[in-house]
Each structure stands twice: as C-alpha cells, then as structure tokens.
C-alpha cells in the first residue's frame, strides 16, 4: 500500500513538472483539502484548479531532488524537494515581480484515500523566498 501511495505522489509531481494541470487534478479527490503555505485551507478540486491557474500566471517552477516517503499503510505521504522558479507576475500581497529567479527548498504532506490524494499541505520558507526576490539594496 505504501509503494502505491508513493507512486501516486510521484505521478503528481511528474504532472506538475510537465505542466499537466489536468493530470494533477485527476489524481485528487473531489473534496481535496489544500493547505496553502502560511494561508487558508481550500476545499475541492475546482478551488485547486483556481490555485494552479494563479500559480501558472505568476510563477514558472520546476521541482528537483524530489524525495517521497510514506507510512506503512500509505495513508500519509511526505515529499521533500527543491523549487527552481521564476517570479513572472506580481502576486497579491507580495513584492513586485520583475522576472526574479529563486531556488527554494520545500516540502509537502499528503493524505491518500481510495487511491487519490485527499489532502495537500505545502510548506516553504516565505522569508527566504522574499529575500531571494527582493531588489538589492
């Protein structure tokens, strides 16, 4: 069971890196819970679709050095990765985008139910990201 859950999360990240948003969404439950880094919880596949559209508009990202692990029953899965990105357009409440590039470690926690992802909780260090994209003084 744990290998199946790990493979599910690996497919999720393969779809992410390929820009296959529909492929990502197909791996989620209809009522997926999405915990945004330092933000609110959003519920549902359509809310996740809206999130992905905002991300694609504002950021170009690839994840590298992805490591996926799970507990024995495959219900809880974790991933560690390094984001290589470009800040393309200014996101609400964040500094101005001018095409800045960044490299940022991150991680995510997942819950798996009936062969699909039921929860995604993302984490990265926002202060580190802001320091990388802030204009030099």
For domain 2-133, the CATH class is alpha beta
The fraction of the chain above a pLDDT of 90, given in percent, is 89
- Residue ranges per domain, the chain? 2-133
Q: Is the pLDDT of residue 137 over 70?
A: no
DSSP, collapsed to helix, strand or coil, labels residue 130 as helix
The first and second tokens of residue 37, run together, are 């880094």
| Confidence at 135, pLDDT banded by 50, 70, 90 | confident
pTM across the whole model: 0.93
H/E element, 38: none
Distance between CA atoms of residues 65 and 21, nearest Å: 21
Q: How many residues does the chain have?
A: 137
């Amino acid at each position: 069971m744990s290998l199946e859950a790990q493979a599910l999360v690996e497919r999720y990240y393969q779809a992410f890196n390929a820009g296959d948003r529909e492929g990502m969404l197909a791996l989620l439950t209809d009522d997926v819970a999405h915990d945004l880094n330092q933000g609110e919880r959003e519920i549902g596949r359509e809310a996740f679709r809206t999130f992905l559209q905002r991300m694609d508009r504002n950021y170009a990202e690839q994840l590298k050095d992805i490591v996926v692990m799970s507990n024995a029953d495959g219900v809880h899965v974790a991933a560690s990765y390094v984001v290589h990105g470009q800040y393309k357009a200014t996101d609400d409440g964040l500094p101005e985008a001018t095409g800045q590039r960044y490299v940022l470690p991150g991680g995510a926690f997942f819950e798996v139910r009936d062969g699909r992802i039921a929860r995604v909780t993302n984490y990265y260090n926002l202060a580190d990201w802001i320091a990388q994209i802030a204009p030099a003084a």
